[in-house]
Structures are given as structure tokens and as C-alpha cells.
Chains A and B, each alone.
Chain A
Amino acid sequence: MDATVLSGLRATEPPRFPALGVSGLAGSSFKHEHLASILDEGRQRHFFEVHAENYMGHGGPPHRALEAVRRDHPVSLHGVCMSIGGSQPLDQAHLARFRALVARYEPALVSEHLAWSTHRTTYFNDLLPLPYNEATLSRVCDHIDQVQDAIQRPLLLENPSTYLAFNESTMAETEFIRRVAERTGCGLLLDINNVFVSATNHGFSALEHLSQFPISRVGEIHLAGHAEQTDDEGDLLLIDSHDGPVADAVWKLYEIVIGRCGPVPTLVEWDSNIPDWPILKADAAAAQAILDRNQSSVRHAAA
């Protein structure tokens, strides 16, 4: 990170941040290479999402950058490595770090994934899929209960993009997610790109999937780009790559969802091949325009 951008932003005591909401807002991933541009622009109608793990070091430039951004903007804290879908107990040290970040940055939104990334002692650094059955359902609910107890607020659980299925699954993903939300009281982060990717990869209708999704519990929406590969049979296999613009088909699904559930805070994710700030900002502005057109839509109950 360019330290000159941050000089003069000395953190001498724990900062107190303004209470900024995300209602009806679009936002984008916060990338350190955009910090100078973001600070130049001052307070905007925009929120920033960060991956929690990148701020689990003790100090240094990452925290200074996030403090600077948080002073003017709402922040969404997005956990990537909690391994909520794993088959073993949550890593309590990791949970404590996550709780500390929630306390420190007072984020407007807090989310994690329906996936696993750690098994035994190995951390795989990917959002790995889980079978959907009664055993995994009760374990995921236990894990979410623990997280919500720790952070003392509801968690938003994100639906995954997947490339395969498990023979031992006994229920559809939408049923699994609905039952998790009912049992734990958690909210949901609806990643529409993930729905589109999974629908293509598993041969189901994205629209039908969305109609079965417990949309009234959605507290945040994700939009992102995907890449194309092929499966064993040579058919299209979509990869949730976060390395390009949001696909037109995903924008269309997004408009349908927003028309149905009102202006839910929406994040444009971009995690590799990161473009210059104006490009990412323009994608967020496109989402904001759709949100603004639907500001008057009635939300189907905020759960």
C-alpha cells in the first residue's frame, strides 16, 4: 500500500466511528489500491465491504486504511474463513478475532459463507461445498448460533456457488438455507451471481431457485463477475471468479429480485484483476440506479 496516502492519519486512540446505515445503498469491495481515490472523493453515498481476515493482523497499514475509510462510510464485514459448513467445531481463536473486528469497526453488515475451508488442521483457502442433509443442517445451525452469540447480532449467511453435488445430500440448497435461517434467526446474503453460476452448473432455473429462496430474510445482495469453463461432457461450467464485470444475465436477475424485495443493500464484488476505481465505482453506480428506481417498493417484511 502507498504509505504516503496514509501519512497524517495517525491512530493514537481507538477511533469512534459515526453510525452510518446502508439502507438502500450500493457499495463495492474495498481494495487498498483504490484508497487514495476514495479518500480524495470524501464521503460518498456508498458502502465498502472488506474480507475480515485481511484485518486480523495486529496493526500496520491495513488497519490504518480501514479506519480512514470507515470514518466516512458504512462498512460491511465479510468473513471468508469461519468454515461454518465444516464438520468440526469452529476455531474459537478465529471466532474471537472476528468478534473483535465487529466491536472495533462497528460494521453496518456482518456476513459469512455457507461453506467450509478448514478440515482437521488444514486451511484450504477456498469456499468448499457441503452435503445438504439433517446432520449438516444441525451442525451449520450450531455454528451460526455460536457466531451470533459471539458477535451479539444477526449474521448474514451467503449462498454458495457450487460445481458439483454430494450423493448424500437429501434436500435442495434453498430448503437447507430456509431451515437454517428459521432455526438460527440469521439473515441471508443473496449472491445472485452464485445463484446464476450454480443454476448453470447444476442445470436448474435461476428464476425458479430465486422464487424458492427465503427472500424476506435477505439483508444484502452480492453481484460479481464469473468465468467460463467446460465440464467432463464439454458443457458450460461457470466459475465464480470475481475477476470481471457483472454479467448481463445477472443484472437482469438482480432487477427482478429488487423489484420483488425492494432496495436491499447491494455490493459489487471484484477480487482479482482489480480495475481502476472509476470502473468499479461505475458498476456500483449501476446497482445504485436500480436500487433508486425501486426505493418506493414495499419490502416484504424485514423478517
Chain B
Amino acid sequence: MLPPEPGFSSYTTFAAALIDPACATPAIVTGPASKGAVKRYNVYRNNVMVSLINALAAIYPVVQRITGAEFFRAMARFHIRATPPNSPLLFEYGRDFPAFIEQYEHASLMPWLSDVARIERAWLDAYHAADAEPLPAAALAKFPQEKLAELIFIAHPATRIVRSHFSAVTIVASNRGNDPVDRIDASTPEDALITRPDLDVMLRRLPPGGATFLESLMSGRTLGEAAASALETASSFDIAANIAGMIEAGAFIDVVLGEAR
């Protein structure tokens, strides 16, 4: 840490009370002509808290739709006090919110809610990710059949995978609009693939073994290695269908022949 600059302490005093309701109005501020400053200072408190709650609501619209605004705003307020933003880029905020939801006592009856939030956080990351041209459907045709196992794929900057023990993909997909939602059985494990091949963010549910397969590919392992680890987790893993699915989703932008290992 650098040594504090002159006047630093008055900023510290002003800042400390902004998100801590237990702090009194700082004595360093005043209204005009010796008027009080309680409500005046509270304007800043309110601006900070309301704008940050709104920021979380914008990042997590499905979580808010499910919990209702009142529940959401109370939960968000607790989170903001514990973990205020540390970047001026608010679309980067709330990365710790899914973990907060997971241990939030009042959300314990919705054990799937944190995974819903993880998908929404990934959705926004995909929205702001760098633009890139996805791999065309014919990209694999130029490689000889016997070399396919050695292919290495380069992920699109938007591509994200979220694994869930619950039906998180169905819950998010059903709640992104304003249409009424039928009862959802939350107990089916679902893995999400989030991509943005062009302008629209796409959310898909991955087939069995698909998440392992794509995570292996995204970490730079060959197609052969990725397929082998997918088969280990799911004997029903269908390699042809998974390759077709990932190309169609625009999950990758390039493919190269890797070194044989």
C-alpha cells in the first residue's frame, strides 16, 4: 500500500459510512448555514445501495424473477455490504453472488438458485466477450480421418460451461422472458453451454458427457483425449452428436492438428 495522501482520512470517513448502516453521518460534512446533514448524506447512501442493487438485478434477472423483487433486493443488500464492487465496470460485478446465494440462509430451500445465478453470470460474460467468427460446419472435412483424434480446438471467447446438479438450464431458459412458467422438476442434473456466435447469447443443455468433453477441449486437450474422458463419465457419450452440437453452437473458432502424444 502507498502511504495515505493528504486528506485521505476524510475520504475514508466519508466512504466508510456509505454502505454500513451502523455508521453515523460523518461529522466532516454539513448542510448550509449549520443545517443538519443526516438526510443529505443519506442521499449518497441511497444512491450507492440502490444503484448497486439495480446492477445485480440487471445481471441476475432470472434470480430476481424467481425470488421476487423484495427477497432479491434484501439478499443483494447483504451481498453488497459484504462484497462491494472493486471495479468501475459494473458488468464485471457479482462474480461472488452465486456463492453468496449458496450459503444465504433464506435461500436454502432453493438449492438450485446459485447455479441459476452461475448461468446468468456466464450469460453476461458471453454478451461482453470479444467478437470472433465461429468455426464453419465444414471445418473438420479438411483433416484426414486418421488424424481426427489429434485435433485441438480453440474456444470462442464467449464460450462458457456451467455444471449443475439441478435443472438449472431449464429453470433459466423458462424464466428469461415474462411468460408464465409451469412447475419444473428441479432434480435432473443439467449442464449448460453458453455461446455467442454472433450477437445473440445462446444457452443450451449439454448431453451426458458433453460438459467433460468441452471442458477438456477448452483446456487444450486433443479430440481423442476429450472423447475418452467424456466416455469415462458417461458411457452413452455420442462423439458425433457432440461435435455437431458444439460446431452449431459456435463454441470454437479454430481447429489445428496437435502433436501426437
A contact set with B: CB distance below 8 Å: 3, 6-7, 10-11, 53, 56-64, 80-81, 83, 86-89, 91, 94, 116-126, 128-131, 133, 135-136, 139, 163-168, 201-204, 229-233, 235, 237, 239
Contact = CB atoms under 8 A, between A and B. Distances in A.
A123 B128 CA distance: 20
Nearest to A138: B6
Contact of A231 (B39, B48, B200): B39
A122 B43 contact: no
Contacts, number: 161
Given A6-B199, A60-B196, A232-B38, A122 B85 contact: yes
Interface residues of B, number: 54
A161 B86 CA distance: 24
Contacts of A10: 198
- Return the 9 tightest CB-CB contacts between A and B, nearest first: A57-B128, A81-B88, A232-B36, A59-B131, A58-B130, A3-B199, A164-B40, A119-B15, A126-B47
B44 A163 contact: yes
- Interface hub of A57, A91, A235 (most chain B Cβ within 10 A): A57
Given A168-B10, A232-B36, A124 B157 contact: no
Interface in B78-98: 84-91
B129 interface: yes
B217 interface: no
Contacts of B18: 124, 128
A164 B41 contact: yes
B44 A11 contact: no
Interface centre among A58, A63, A135 (most CB of B within 10 A): A58
Contact of B199 (A61, A133, A165, A166): A61
B128 A230 contact: no
B155 to A, nearest CB: 14
Contacts of B5: 87-88, 139
Given A60-B128, A165-B32, A239-B43, A87 B8 contact: yes
Contacts of B39: 229-232, 237
Interface of B: 2, 4-8, 10-12, 14-15, 18-19, 28-33, 35-41, 43-44, 47-48, 51-52, 55, 84-91, 126-132, 157-158, 196, 198-200
B24 to A, nearest CB: 14
12 contacts: A58-B128, A119-B15, A122-B15, A123-B84, A130-B11, A131-B7, A163-B41, A166-B30, A231-B36, A233-B31, A233-B36, A235-B35
Given A53-B88, A128-B14, A59 B55 contact: no
A104 B88 CA distance: 20
Contacts of B40: 163-164, 201, 231-232, 237
B131 A11 contact: yes
A167 B15 contact: no
A123 B86 contact: yes
B43 A86 contact: no
Given A126-B48, A232-B39, A166 B29 contact: yes
Given A57-B129, A120-B15, A167-B28, 4 more contacts: A122-B86, A125-B55, A128-B14, A232-B37
Contacts of B11: 86-87, 116, 119, 130
Contacts of B55: 125
Given A119-B11, A164-B40, A60 B131 contact: yes
B7 A135 contact: yes
B84 A231 contact: no
B183 to A, nearest CB: 31
Contacts of A202: 32
B29 A165 contact: yes
A61 B196 CA distance: 10
A18 B117 CA distance: 42
Nearest to A56: B89
B199 A7 contact: yes
Given A135-B6, A203-B32, A231-B36, A125 B129 contact: no
Contact of B88 (A63, A89, A117): A117
B90 A53 contact: yes
A119 B127 CA distance: 29
A160 B94 CA distance: 28
Nearest to A123: B85
A116 B7 CA distance: 13
Contacts of B158: 60
Which of B18, B87, B199 has most chain A Cβ within 10 Å?
Answer: B199
A86 to B, nearest CB: 7
A299 B137 CA distance: 61
A125 B127 contact: no
B20 to A, nearest CB: 11
Nearest to B51: A125
Contact of A233 (B15, B35, B85, B157): B35
A128 B36 CA distance: 18
Contacts of A163: 40-41, 43-44
A10 B131 CA distance: 10
